[in-house]
Amino acid sequence: MTSLPDNSVDLIIADPPYNLSKGGNWSWDNSVVLKGLGGNWNKVMESWDAMPLEEYWKFTLAWISEAKRILKPSGSMWIFGTYHNIGIINVVCQMLEIEIINEVVWFKRNSFPNLSGRRLTASHETLLWCHSGGKKRQYYFDYDYSKNGVFESDLIKKPGKQMRTVWDVPNNKTKVELKFGKHPTQKPLRLLERIVGLTSKEGDLMLTPFCGSGSECVAAKIAGRDYIGFEIEDEYVELAEKRLENAERGSKLPPKEDSSRINPTLFQERK
């Protein structure tokens, strides 16, 4: 992101590593077999997802500082997280005088099962909706879309009513989403489409610093937005490229679609 000019991006969607393993030696190849649940489930753990706490703090401070620098005063930033990392992200945002507009709970009806029987089943992730701060609060927000948009899979959102901060978006993926492969932490496209629709306009520039399989970029492209994504894993660079080649700019979203995450090979499309 250091190569991008100040105040150049309209929307940032960031799905950073959650630091789940905190020093463990897991990799994406680790899996467990769950009887009756259809085979192997990837554990979302990798070397970059196992930083010591101090290193994760430095990492978070570095990328959010850059995100603030490149974000326009009218822009928004959305950050995914769980209890593993959202506290650090929240504090870093406050330190950098980044205003948190809303904390959104993404409720996942079909979440990963609880295997230990010694805790509640985790069934949500947190999203922080932020802007770069300042008294004028210039960030773009499509209130009409939030109130009158069609969100058929959301059993909480009522037609014609204000959108609340709990979103019921199933996490299952379609064949279209998984056609070219999958990413262990892939987000559903309909969730990303909602973010893009709420906080950007056609022709705006969306950036994702943790691109993964390219879902944020796909959501931006099919909504008629420009996009930039960064990714370090060659496997996911190739996957994202295939998905973007097969995504039609400005096309209508079907009921379900695609998703993603991570940092540098550059995807970019500008008019």
Element spanning 194, H or E? helix 189-199
Q: Assign 271 a pLDDT band (cuts: 50, 70, 90).
A: very low
Q: Which residues contact 64 (CB under 8 A, 6 or more apart)?
A: 79, 89, 92, 93, 96, 98
Q: Which residues contact 8 (CB under 8 A, 6 or more apart)?
A: 70, 72, 205
Rounded to the nearest 10°, the torsion over CA 196, 199, 201, 207 is -60
Specify the pLDDT at position 36. Answer: 37
69 has a pLDDT exceeding 80: yes
pLDDT digits (tens, 9 = 90+) for 257-267: 333 332 334 44
Element spanning 205, H or E? strand 205-208
Specify the pLDDT at position 231. Answer: 85
For the question of whether the overall pTM of this predicted structure is more than 0.85, the answer is no
3 state SS of 11: strand
Q: Assign 43 a pLDDT band (cuts: 50, 70, 90).
A: very low
pLDDT digits (tens, 9 = 90+) for 106-130: 999 888 888 888 999 999 999 999 9
User: Angle, to 10 degrees, between the axis of helix 86-95 and the axis of helix 53-70?
Assistant: 50
Q: Please give the domain boundaries of the chain with CATH numbers for all domains.
A: 9-269 (3.40.50.150)
Q: Assign 81 a pLDDT band (cuts: 50, 70, 90).
A: very high
Encoded tokens for 131? 């802007």
Give the residue, 40 or 13, on which the prediction is more confident.
Answer: 13
Q: Give me the count of residues in the chain.
A: 271
Specify the pLDDT at position 44. Answer: 34
d(Cα 192, Cα 83) in Å, to the nearest integer? Answer: 21
Torsions phi, psi for 238 (to 5 deg): -65, -45
